[in-house]
Structure 1
Amino acid sequence: MMKKIVLSVVTMMTFAFGYAETTPSHRMGIDRQPVNYDMSFNVHRLAAKLDLNENQMETVEVIQNCFNNEVQEAATSKGFERRHLIHQAVRKDVDRMHRVLNDEQFNTYMMLLVTTLHNKGLM
């Protein structure tokens, strides 16, 4: 009798978790806004905002393409692994950008990055 009850509970939980994973809400942020993993943007607008020179602009474009690709790869993972991969991608992006930008540019970039991550539901 007890074995049947335990198996029934396990079966119900399996179905419940399976259903929860297939609903769109598993891709929702904490405030239930859809999560957007596309981190591509207009590099020319960023260059104008940060007052980048040509060398910086080329380097920033490469860094941002890498960052967007890493976030897109993270989007294919699930749960904690996804959060971990996004966190790693952000840390790599910040380290790379810190090497290219001066302090004033970097502070502005960090403000834009945090705002973007928050708006896209990744933070």
Structure 2
Amino acid sequence: MKRLYLTVVALLSMTMTFAGDKNGMDAAGANTAATSATMAKADSTASYDISYNLRRLGETLGLTLDQMNSVEALNRIFRGDLKTAVEADKANRKALMDSAVEKDMKYMSYVLTPEQFDKYQTLINTTLANRGLEK
């Protein structure tokens, strides 16, 4: 009986969460038209977010602590450059994206050993290809 009650409560909660009213408002009271526009913009720029787990990157590349600190700082710069590319108009977005990637590769080549850099290049190129942002 307890399971049945909890199942009904969960079902009703999920129904209320996904339900919307006739006036274009979702269950939380937000205008669905505005939400849809925001989601469309997020979808168009979501592929430009190529954040990655720095700890896993460090393990994969075999980074030292000093290299890890440098890579973390360079990642912040890279993400800032990508944010600038995303906020630019469509005509300039590709050029800014390419510039950001080239700048990141140049800086990483100073920090990483040749073997680490080759692995990093493979990872970044694969990530860009998977997101449809190939150079």
TM-score, normalised to structure 2's length? 0.64
Partner of 1:72: helix, strand, or coil? helix
In 2, distance between residues paired with 1:79 and 1:47? 33
List runs of 5+ in structure 1 lacking aligned partners.
1-23, 29-33
Query: Which consecutive segments of 4 or more residues in structure 1 shift more than 3 A?
Result: none
- 1:80 is displaced (CA, Å) by 2.9
Alignment-derived partner of residue 75 in structure 2: 64
Alignment-derived partner of residue 48 in structure 2: 37
List runs of 5+ in structure 2 lacking aligned partners.
1-39
- 1:35 is displaced (CA, Å) by 5.2
Offset from partner CA, 1:28-73 (integer Å, 9 cap, x none) = 6xxxxx8511122110000000000000000001101110111111
Alignment-derived partner of residue 102 in structure 1: 113
In 2, distance between residues paired with 1:45 and 1:94? 19
State which of 96, 101, 104 in structure 2 corresponds to 1:85.
Answer: 96
Larger Rg belongs to: 2
Structure of greater relative contact order (alpha carbons < 8 Å, 6+ residues apart): 1
State which of 76, 82, 85 in structure 2 corresponds to 1:74.
Answer: 85
Root-mean-square deviation (CA, aligned residues, Å) is: 1.8
State which of 39, 42, 60 in structure 2 corresponds to 1:49.
Answer: 60
In 1, distance between residues paired with 2:80 and 2:133? 15
Q: Which amino acid aligns with 1:63?
A: L
- 1:84 is displaced (CA, Å) by 0.6
Q: Is the 1:50–1:105 Cα contact (8 Å) retained in structure 2?
A: yes
How many residues of Structure 1 are paired with residues of Structure 2 in the alignment?
A: 94
In 2, distance between residues paired with 1:119 and 1:35? 12
In 2, distance between residues paired with 1:104 and 1:80? 36
TM-score, normalised to structure 1's length? 0.70
